[in-house]
Amino acid sequence: MEIIENASLKKLTTFGIEAKAAKLVKTYSNTELISFLQSKPQQPIFVLGGGSNIVFTRNFEGTILQPSDENIVVASENDNEATICAAAGVEWDKLVSFCVEKGLGGLENLSLIPGHVGACPVQNIGAYGVEVKDTITQVDGFYLDSAQPFSFSNELCEFGYRDSIFKRELKGKVVITHVSFKLSKKPQLITHYGNIEEELKSYNKRSIKTVREAVISIRERKLPSPEVNGNCGSFFKNPTIPLTQFEAIKSAYPNVPSYPAGDLVKVPAAWLIETCGFKGIKKGNVGVHSQQALVLINLGNADGNEVIALANEIIEAVKGKFCIELEKEVNIL
């Protein structure tokens, strides 16, 4: 176990905003985690993964808990599929790489998403037509107040679009330690979303490996590296709206992109933001990325409150122009 007093969080978050925690605790096993939880730690407790989905607007007067076990195991397998169990501290893209190298399909479209495995079920991360809920079989962890273990099936996680029980009823109440995934040895490739089909034209064959490479290529072109400009990736959720509202928008903007979402229509938040004139804009130490309007970036020494101010300005503009209220995907603390 690693314990740091008055810890800087700047390098533990991808937005790179300076904030301090009264205490930072890193645990490397369930035994260490249980010991920590039973020690009556300084409250409140906030569980931090890879820091890719959070903006700190102030210092944290409590304990930041970061599960740091990085173990990956093949829990079971047969001729058709395998179950992989990954610890919460594993970097997400390392898990995707591990699975692709073993010929296991299901996660390749989620390549290069920043963050740790422990956060993936919380957010139900998704990209290019795939959501992680489609592969998760089990989520294990502990309740923060009692140190009692839990083991949730996929159904108990109550997954939704960028949503789960961990963002609602159990928010701030649990720490995830392991996530299990069922992956296929005979995968069906999903290539119709985004520019994957176009990107794959330069490859001689199609496989989970080439899909991963295509996704990485697209993401590297479109999204800024946190090492260059601090960011949290997609800052807003893509909204879903009634068909009648979408048709009204389409009558004014015939080229508006959209995707079916049951009885609703999903409209890319990036398009809404760009149409409102925010793409590439700079406001003090923060801005909107010039290649992807869904990404807010740290232009230098950004303050968390500057980030939120720009995000709120975007929300108001989109609401005023389209009567759509964007929802922040990023956690604000």
The answer to whether the bond into 257 is cis (omega within 30° of 0) is no
Q: Cα–Cα distance between 243 and 20 in angstroms, integer? A: 46
Residue 329, classified by CB atoms within 10 Å of its CB into exposed (0-12), middle (13-18) or buried (19+), is middle
| Residue 246 vs residues 44, 146, 201, 326: alpha-carbon distances, Å | 43, 47, 32, 15
Helix (H, G, I), strand (E, B) or coil at 66: strand
Tell me, yes or no, if 168 is annotated catalytic: no
Tell me, yes or no, if 162 is annotated catalytic: yes
Tell me, yes or no, if 207 is annotated catalytic: no
Name the nearest CA neighbour of 237 among 144, 324, 299: 324
Residue 164, classified by CB atoms within 10 Å of its CB into exposed (0-12), middle (13-18) or buried (19+), is buried
The secondary structure of 123-141 as a DSSP string is HT-EETTEEGGGTEEEEEE
Give me the catalytic one of 111, 162, 212, 213.
Answer: 162
Q: Cα–Cα distance between 96 and 109 in angstroms, integer? A: 9
Name the nearest CA neighbour of 73 among 184, 212, 178: 178
Q: Cα–Cα distance between 91 and 203 in angstroms, integer? A: 27
Q: Which residues are catalytic?
A: 162, 234, 329
